[in-house]
Amino acid sequence: MGTAPTTRTLVLVEGDSDAGAVRALADLIGCDLDLHRIRISSAGGVTNFSKVLAEFVGAHPGAAFCGLYDVADEWHVRRALASVGSPIAAHESPESVGFFACVADIEDELIRALGTDAVERVLEAQGELSSFRRFQAMPRYRNAPVHDQVHRFLGTRATRKIRCAQRLVEVLELTRLPRPLTLLAARLREACSLPGARASSRQGDLDPL
C-alpha cells in the first residue's frame, strides 16, 4: 500500500466561512488544491491557531503555511508562529510570513469590495432577500448603515455565513479582491506553480518569500 500524499501547504483560517471563501478563491484563480497538496484548515477559532499549527508542523516537517485572521486577533497569530519556531519581531507584520489580516472579518472585506447592492443580488439569488428586508425593518437595525445591516444579517446563521462568504468570492472580479485575499491569492498561485512551493514562512531556517 502506498502512503497518503504529504500536505505541502497549510492555509490556516479562523472559521468555516473563511475556509469556504479560500476554497472559492482557489477556484477563482485556477488553483487545484488537491493536485498541489494544499490543505485549508479551519481552526475553530483563532485561539486554536497555536494547537493546529503545532500539530501540522509536527506531522509535516518542512511544509509551508500561511493564512487569514482578523486584525483584532493578531496576538494569537504571533503566539502561534512563535510556538513553531517562527517568531516575528514586534515591528514586523504577520504578512511577512504569509498571514494576512482582515480589518473586521472576511465578510466585512467582501461586502466592502462588492458593495451592498451586489451583496443584495446574491441574497436575492439565494432566496434570502425578503428575510433581509424583514431584518432591516427590525427596530434595532433599521437606522444602521446598509453595510452594517448586511454584515450582521450574514452572521445570524452559521450556514448562511458559510454559504455567502463562498458565493461572494465567486462573484468577485479578480481586480476587486480585497487586500487580504489578493495577498493570499499570490501565495496560492506560487504554491500551485512550483513543486513543493512554500506559501509562507520561516519554519526553521527557511527564508520568507
Which strand (E) or helix (H) includes residue 192?
Answer: helix 179-193
Query: C-alpha angle 45/22/61, rounded to 5°?
Result: 70
pLDDT for the residue 208: 34
pLDDT for the residue 77: 98
Which strand (E) or helix (H) includes residue 68?
Answer: strand 64-70
- Nearest alpha carbon to residue 168 among 69, 30, 51, 28: 28
pLDDT for the residue 4: 56
pLDDT for the residue 193: 81
pLDDT for the residue 198: 43
Torsion region of 31: left, alpha or beta (phi above 0 gives left; psi -120 to 50 gives alpha): beta
pLDDT for the residue 203: 44
pTM: 0.90
- Which mean pLDDT values do the consecutive 10-residue runs of the chain (209 residues) have? 74 98 97 96 98 97 96 98 96 97 98 98 98 98 98 96 97 96 96 55 37
Could you tell me the residue ranges of all domains in the chain? 9-107+177-193, 111-170
CATH code for 9-107+177-193?
A: 3.40.50
| Residue 101 to residue 149: CA distance in whole angstroms | 22
